[in-house]
Amino acid sequence: MLSILFISMIILLISMMVMLLASILSKKTFIDREKASPFECGFDPKSSSRMPFSLKFFLITIIFLIFDVEIALILPIIMIIKFSNLLMWSFTSIIFILILLIGLYHEWNQGMLNWST
Protein backbone atom coordinates (compact mmCIF):
# COMPACT_ATOMS: atom_id res chain seq x y z
CA MET A 1 0.00 0.00 0.00
CA LEU A 2 2.82 2.36 0.85
CA SER A 3 4.58 1.66 -2.45
CA ILE A 4 1.43 2.53 -4.43
CA LEU A 5 1.14 5.79 -2.53
CA PHE A 6 4.83 6.55 -3.10
CA ILE A 7 4.60 5.81 -6.84
CA SER A 8 1.47 7.93 -7.24
CA MET A 9 3.17 10.84 -5.47
CA ILE A 10 6.17 10.55 -7.80
CA ILE A 11 3.87 10.49 -10.85
CA LEU A 12 1.96 13.51 -9.54
CA LEU A 13 5.22 15.40 -8.92
CA ILE A 14 6.60 14.60 -12.38
CA SER A 15 3.36 15.59 -14.13
CA MET A 16 3.15 18.88 -12.22
CA MET A 17 6.77 19.67 -13.13
CA VAL A 18 6.08 18.95 -16.81
CA MET A 19 2.96 21.17 -16.76
CA LEU A 20 4.87 23.99 -15.06
CA LEU A 21 7.72 23.71 -17.55
CA ALA A 22 5.29 23.69 -20.49
CA SER A 23 3.46 26.78 -19.23
CA ILE A 24 6.72 28.67 -18.72
CA LEU A 25 8.07 27.79 -22.17
CA SER A 26 4.83 28.45 -24.04
CA LYS A 27 4.47 32.10 -23.04
CA LYS A 28 4.68 34.49 -25.97
CA THR A 29 6.97 37.45 -25.51
CA PHE A 30 5.13 39.78 -27.88
CA ILE A 31 1.70 40.07 -29.48
CA ASP A 32 1.75 40.41 -33.23
CA ARG A 33 -1.19 42.34 -34.73
CA GLU A 34 -1.24 40.20 -37.86
CA LYS A 35 -1.25 36.94 -35.93
CA ALA A 36 -4.01 38.13 -33.60
CA SER A 37 -6.27 39.22 -36.49
CA PRO A 38 -8.45 36.79 -38.44
CA PHE A 39 -6.72 35.24 -41.44
CA GLU A 40 -8.03 36.27 -44.85
CA CYS A 41 -5.43 35.36 -47.48
CA GLY A 42 -2.86 37.74 -46.03
CA PHE A 43 -5.03 40.84 -46.48
CA ASP A 44 -6.74 42.89 -43.83
CA PRO A 45 -10.33 41.66 -43.37
CA LYS A 46 -13.01 43.71 -45.11
CA SER A 47 -15.66 43.09 -42.49
CA SER A 48 -15.99 41.76 -38.96
CA SER A 49 -15.06 38.13 -38.44
CA ARG A 50 -17.96 37.73 -36.03
CA MET A 51 -20.74 37.67 -38.58
CA PRO A 52 -24.12 36.44 -37.31
CA PHE A 53 -25.38 33.23 -38.82
CA SER A 54 -28.84 31.93 -39.48
CA LEU A 55 -30.51 30.44 -36.44
CA LYS A 56 -32.25 27.89 -38.67
CA PHE A 57 -28.91 26.15 -39.37
CA PHE A 58 -28.22 25.95 -35.64
CA LEU A 59 -31.67 24.51 -34.88
CA ILE A 60 -31.41 21.91 -37.65
CA THR A 61 -27.99 20.90 -36.29
CA ILE A 62 -29.37 20.50 -32.78
CA ILE A 63 -32.31 18.44 -34.05
CA PHE A 64 -29.92 16.25 -36.06
CA LEU A 65 -27.68 15.67 -33.03
CA ILE A 66 -30.61 14.77 -30.81
CA PHE A 67 -32.01 12.24 -33.26
CA ASP A 68 -28.54 10.89 -34.01
CA VAL A 69 -27.96 10.14 -30.34
CA GLU A 70 -31.42 8.59 -30.09
CA ILE A 71 -30.64 6.22 -32.96
CA ALA A 72 -27.52 5.17 -31.06
CA LEU A 73 -29.78 4.43 -28.08
CA ILE A 74 -32.29 2.46 -30.16
CA LEU A 75 -29.73 0.05 -31.66
CA PRO A 76 -28.91 -1.76 -28.38
CA ILE A 77 -32.64 -2.24 -27.74
CA ILE A 78 -32.70 -4.64 -30.70
CA MET A 79 -29.77 -6.63 -29.31
CA ILE A 80 -31.18 -7.12 -25.80
CA ILE A 81 -34.48 -8.64 -26.90
CA LYS A 82 -33.02 -12.13 -26.37
CA PHE A 83 -31.93 -11.45 -22.80
CA SER A 84 -34.93 -9.58 -21.39
CA ASN A 85 -38.57 -10.09 -20.58
CA LEU A 86 -40.62 -9.55 -23.74
CA LEU A 87 -43.32 -7.54 -21.96
CA MET A 88 -40.84 -5.16 -20.29
CA TRP A 89 -38.83 -4.86 -23.51
CA SER A 90 -41.95 -3.98 -25.49
CA PHE A 91 -43.14 -1.48 -22.88
CA THR A 92 -39.74 0.25 -22.70
CA SER A 93 -39.35 0.37 -26.48
CA ILE A 94 -42.84 1.75 -27.02
CA ILE A 95 -42.37 4.44 -24.36
CA PHE A 96 -38.99 5.43 -25.83
CA ILE A 97 -40.30 5.65 -29.40
CA LEU A 98 -43.41 7.48 -28.17
CA ILE A 99 -41.20 10.12 -26.53
CA LEU A 100 -39.30 10.48 -29.81
CA LEU A 101 -42.51 10.91 -31.78
CA ILE A 102 -43.86 13.48 -29.31
CA GLY A 103 -40.60 15.42 -29.64
CA LEU A 104 -40.78 15.26 -33.43
CA TYR A 105 -44.41 16.44 -33.37
CA HIS A 106 -43.46 19.31 -31.07
CA GLU A 107 -40.65 20.38 -33.42
CA TRP A 108 -43.02 20.16 -36.37
CA ASN A 109 -45.75 22.08 -34.51
CA GLN A 110 -43.32 24.87 -33.57
CA GLY A 111 -42.28 25.25 -37.23
CA MET A 112 -38.66 24.20 -36.75
CA LEU A 113 -38.79 21.90 -39.77
CA ASN A 114 -40.07 24.51 -42.24
CA TRP A 115 -37.30 25.90 -44.46
CA SER A 116 -39.53 28.07 -46.64
CA THR A 117 -40.05 30.90 -44.12
Residue ranges per structural domain of the chain: 55-109
pTM: 0.48
5-37 pLDDT, tens digit per residue, is 899 999 999 999 999 988 888 766 566 666 666
Q: Which of the given ranges, 35-39, 45-49, 72-76, has the highest pLDDT on average?
A: 72-76
Res. 56: pLDDT tops 60? yes
Question: What is the pLDDT, as a whole number, of residue 79?
Answer: 85
Yes or no: say if 78 and 70 are a contact pair by the CB < 8 Å rule: no
Whether 44 and 37 have beta carbons less than 8 Å apart is answered as yes
